[in-house]
Amino acid sequence: MTRSIDRSVENLADRVEIRVALFRIRPYAGSMTPPLDASMPASRPPSPFVVTPASGEAGAMVFASPHSGRDRPGDMGEAAGLALSTLRSAEDVGVDGLIAEGPQRGVPIVAGRVSRAYVDLNRAPTELDPALVDGDIEAPPTARVSAGFGVIPRRAGDGTPLYDRRLTRVEAVDRLERVHAPYHEALGDLMQAARDRHGVALLIDWHSMPSRAAGAGGRNRRGVDVVLGDRHGSACRGATMRRIRALFEAQGWRVGLNTPYAGGYSTERWGRPDEGFQAVQVELNRALYLDEATLEPSADYGRFSKALDRVIVALAAETWPR
């Protein structure tokens, strides 16, 4: 491969020619991502994402869950001996299942199925890590890349190094072309269709956060339950953010804004209110529904899921400002 690495990934999500059908897009049943299961074969060829269309008429919203995937392609080549809990430590376990009510309310969902340890779908394709990928990388590293959390992460969510080798530029570009680009092509199709129908499209990009990131402990022992990110006011209308915040607060949850999560690549890319596209990133405190040690549903899962369903129903009933 003779082209330089920066040229290989420049605007990759917009220009790469991939037939998305090759990746087996199919309706997703919406059940919770399975808990830890060492029997899951890492070498099974994964679908990079699944799309669940809206039942009936689709509204102006699109749901995305980029980090709920757990499939690890056999060519990942991670360091030997890594615990499965480490490989899944950055995964938004169960988020795809928590938002499964969306399609019944006219909201399509695109959900990543490939592990975030393999490719991070909420990073720009240019966020390659020069400490991991061979070749000249012209784009200066962002703070996330320098910390080891680029589009191809160097570290797991718990900070453990994922590799004891460097990746070739061919490997890196191949991952982006097979996983990252088609996911964002599908997301783009849903957003364009929503705006064409309603004059506005609103992306809700769903994530989960470890309770330690929510500020639990110290003087504020509970911390926040939900963090909403709109790139500090640039990704959506103020009225949109105020209404979304009110719907979460109506469930008795503490809601924070933009700290510590202001929104990643998808929020930045689709947060263009003047063009009819708005985006909000939602971070759910895992302690509300998950045993963070085992990654299995906690005793509070059912109660939390029902409350979140009420939020989704209310979101779907809104008419969003242009």
What is the C-alpha separation between 181 and 18, in angstroms, rounded? 8
Residue with tokens 């989960």: 208
pLDDT at 36: 36
Closest CA to 187 of 105, 65, 18: 65
pLDDT at 37: 37
Q: What angle do CA 247, 251, 252 make, to 5 degrees?
A: 115
pLDDT at 225: 97
pLDDT at 42: 44
pLDDT value at 320 more than 90: yes
β-sheet with 277-285: strand ranges across? 49-52, 109-112, 61-65, 201-209, 277-285, 226-229, 255-257
| Local confidence band at 221 (pLDDT 50, 70, 90 cut-offs) | low
Region 81-101: mean pLDDT is 96
pLDDT, tens digit, for every residue of 13-59?
A: 444 433 332 233 223 333 444 433 333 444 444 579 999 999 999 99
pLDDT at 47: 79
Q: How many other CB atoms are found less than 10 A from the CB of residue 309?
A: 17
E strand or H helix at 227, and its extent?
Answer: strand 226-229
> What is the chain's mean pLDDT, rounded?
87
More confident residue, 46 or 248: 248
pLDDT at 216: 64
Q: What angle do CA 137, 153, 10 make, to 5 degrees?
A: 35
pLDDT at 196: 98
pLDDT, tens digit, for every residue of 144-168?
A: 999 999 999 999 999 999 999 999 9
Q: Are strands 109-112 and 49-52 parallel, antiparallel or unpaired?
A: antiparallel
| Local confidence band at 214 (pLDDT 50, 70, 90 cut-offs) | confident
Reduced to 3 states, what is the DSSP secondary structure of residue 193? helix
pLDDT value at 242 more than 50: yes
What is the C-alpha separation between 178 and 170, in angstroms, rounded? 12
Lowest-pLDDT range of 25-34, 137-146, 212-221: 25-34
pLDDT value at 293 more than 80: yes
| Local confidence band at 118 (pLDDT 50, 70, 90 cut-offs) | very high
pTM of the model: 0.86
Region 68-95: mean pLDDT is 96
More confident residue, 15 or 106: 106
